[in-house]
Structures are given as structure tokens and as C-alpha cells.
Amino acid sequence: MRENPSLDVNRYGPWALIVGGSEGIGAASACLLAAQGFNLILVARKAEPLSALAQELAGAGVEVRTGSVDLSQPDALDRTRALTDDIEVGLLLYIAGANDTRGNFLELDPQVYRSVIAITVIGQAEFTRHYGGLMRERGRGGIILAGSLSNFCGSATVAAYTGAKAFSRVFTEALWAECVEMNIDVLHVVVGYTDTPAMRRLGLDTSSAQSPEDAACEMLAAIGNGPLLLLGGEASLKIATARSQLADRGEVIRTAGTPRRESMPHVSAN
Ligand SMILES: NC(=O)c1ccc[n+]([C@@H]2O[C@H](COP(=O)([O-])OP(=O)(O)OC[C@H]3O[C@@H](n4cnc5c(N)ncnc54)[C@H](OP(=O)(O)O)[C@@H]3O)[C@@H](O)[C@H]2O)c1
């Protein structure tokens, strides 16, 4: 039986910003945080899931603000700041960043890798700099940045994604080391296979995947245990260890990397 995590709203509140907060792990985190008394700002692209979730959360008696923001666009932080400049964000969860388009880097439409880099590299850095900077002034807060098992080695057909996720993990680890003295908890979450709407839209069989609720629960409970949380237990640890092996690196990349998905019906060729 899952035990819901308990986060101190005086330490990490009063507002939590969830970037990618309309579905999956972000939405599950929103429900858990609302139950703890956190007010929420939820941003994502599609307006409908955002407003449906805001309605669902209204019963928890907390304030909820939502904004339709595309993180691949240069105005993403400004649009989010328009929702938050008058309030105190004590907790930043940056969850968005799945990959839905695969292909050899040299053949890809540049828009694909630009978007991946904008969301995961530029986005995580910019949002962390802004909201983390305000937490530093207040002397408290928490930052959780989501990554993937893909971050442990480069894989064919997802070069930008694996590179961006590697940035995310190493960046978060360094940030964690810097923020210890600032009373800001920093955590990088390595997400394993999770049954999210994004994965279902890709047509994947998610019957063996972790639920977003379990992932959110484990993630929030670990906020004070940075720098790294590997979701998915022993199985994820085995994959991460295999992908981190330095000896015979070419073989690791050929065999242990993210499997190709050419045969999948809903994944674009590039
Ligand atoms: N699910 C898995 O099996 C899995 C495995 C490994 C790693 N991960 C990581 O876990 C995180 C969550 O993945 P996910 O499967 O839930 O899919 P996701 O596509 O990252 O979606 C999560 C949330 O982010 C929002 N989002 C996505 N792209 C956005 C954009 N350009 N601008 C603004 N918001 C955006 C989505 O809403 P909208 O679509 O409406 O924008 C949704 O609310 C990602 O960082 C992913 O890399 C997931």
C-alpha cells in the first residue's frame, strides 16, 4: 500500500509550480500537493486537461492557477512568470520533456531537436535560475527536475533526447551541491517506464509500467534525499548500471541503449 508523502508547506510553499502539470506525473503530483495544502500553478500546452484538473482540485480548498505555455518557445518563462510574479513559489517541479519523435540526427527536421533542447536544456536552466534565485533570497525551497534512464548513455535515433537528459542529470547534481548551503533541496528524478497519457498516445503497451501516482509519491517523498532518485526499483538500477559502464563503451551503446522503435505505428519516422 502506497503511503502519501508529507511535505511541509512552510518549508516548500505556499505555492508549487508544476511545469508539465496537466497530465501524468505532474498531475498526480498536483493532487498530492493539493491534499497537503499547497496552492498550485500548473502549466502545459493543452488548455483542456489543465482546466479539467483545476476543477478537480477545486474541492481540495487550495488556489489553482493554470497557463497554456509551450516550453519549446522562447517566451515560456515570461508567460509562466505572468502567473507567478505576485506570489511565492517555494517548490518547482519541472516534469515535461518526453520524446515523441525519433530518427537519425543528421536526417531529422531541425525543429525536433531544437524543441527537445529548448524544453529540457534551456527550459530547466531558465526556470531553475529564476525560481531558484527567488528561493535563495528567501533561504528555503525545493526543486525537482525530471529526467530519464536515457541519460546514462547516448542512443541511436534519440541523440538530442539522450544528450538533453544527460545535461539534466549532471546539471541537477551540480545544482544540488551548490544549493545545500542555501537550504534549497534539489532532486533529479530518473523516470522509468511510466503509464502516462504521452506514452499511451505513442501506442505503447503500458501494462508493465509504473503508475504516475506511484511515481509522484516516490518522487515527492524523496525531495530531501537528493541529488538522485531512480524510480522503478531494482530493474531501473540494473539498466542504469549497464548504461553507465565505461569499459567497451561502443558495445554498451549498441546493446544497452534505448531500443529503436522503428516498428511502432504511432512514432514518426523523423
Ligand atoms: N512516461 C515514461 O515512460 C517516461 C520514461 C522516461 C522518462 N520520462 C520523463 O518523464 C517526464 C514526463 O513524461 P510524460 O510521459 O508524462 O510525457 P510529457 O510529454 O513530458 O508530458 C508531461 C506533461 O508535460 C506537458 N508538456 C509536454 N510538452 C510540453 C511543452 N512543449 N510545453 C509545455 N508543456 C509540455 C504535458 O502537457 P501538454 O502535452 O498539454 O503540453 C504534460 O502535462 C518527461 O521528462 C520524460 O522525459 C517518462
Nearest to 270 by CA among 111, 117, 101: 101
Position 266 in a domain: no
215 and 42 in contact (C-beta within 8 Å)?
no
Cell of 111: 525543429
Q: In what order do the strands lie in the sheet with 39-44?
A: 64-68, 39-44, 15-19, 89-94, 141-148, 184-191, 228-230
Kindly state the percentage of the chain with pLDDT values over 90. Answer: 89
Q: Is the CB of 116 under 6 A from ligand 1?
A: no
Position 267 in a domain: no
Position 269 in a domain: no
Position 119 in a domain: yes
- What's the CATH code of the domain at 218? 3.40.50.720
Distance from Cα 128 to the centre of ligand 1, integer Å = 18
Position 270 in a domain: no
Give the number of domains in the chain: 1
Nearest ligand 1 atom to the CA of 204 is 3
Cell of 171: 546539471
Using 50, 70 and 90 to split pLDDT, how confident is the model at 199?
very high
Across 196-206, average pLDDT: 93
> Which one of 194, 200, 208, 214 would you pick to mutate in the ligand 1 pocket, going by the greatest count of ligand atoms within 8 A of its CB?
194
The answer, yes or no, to whether residue 146 has pLDDT greater than 50, is yes
Sorted by sequence, the CB contacts under 8 Å of residue 178 that are 6+ apart come out as: none
The answer, yes or no, to whether residue 270 has pLDDT greater than 50, is no
| Run of H or E residues at 78 | helix 76-84
Distance from Cα 248 to the centre of ligand 1, integer Å = 32
Q: Is the CB of 45 under 6 A from ligand 1?
A: yes
Cell of 13: 510553499
243 and 153 in contact (C-beta within 8 Å)?
yes
Atom 35, ligand 1: residue with shortest CA distance: 44
Position 2 in a domain: no
Instruction: Name the residue type at position 218.
Output: E
Range of the domain at 162: 9-255
72 and 170 in contact (C-beta within 8 Å)?
no
The answer, yes or no, to whether residue 101 has pLDDT greater than 90, is yes
Nearest ligand 1 atom to the CA of 45 is 41
Q: How far apart are CA 251 and CA 165, in angstroms?
A: 21
Q: Is the CB of 189 under 6 A from ligand 1?
A: no
The answer, yes or no, to whether residue 261 has pLDDT greater than 70, is no
Q: Is the CB of 83 under 6 A from ligand 1?
A: no
Across 148-163, average pLDDT: 96
Q: Is the CB of 145 under 6 A from ligand 1?
A: no
Q: How far apart are CA 65 and CA 248, in angstroms?
A: 50
Across 67-78, average pLDDT: 98
Nearest to 91 by CA among 4, 175, 205, 186: 186
Which is higher by pLDDT, 265 or 190?
190
Position 260 in a domain: no
The phi and psi torsions of 192 (rounded to 5 degrees) equal -90, -170
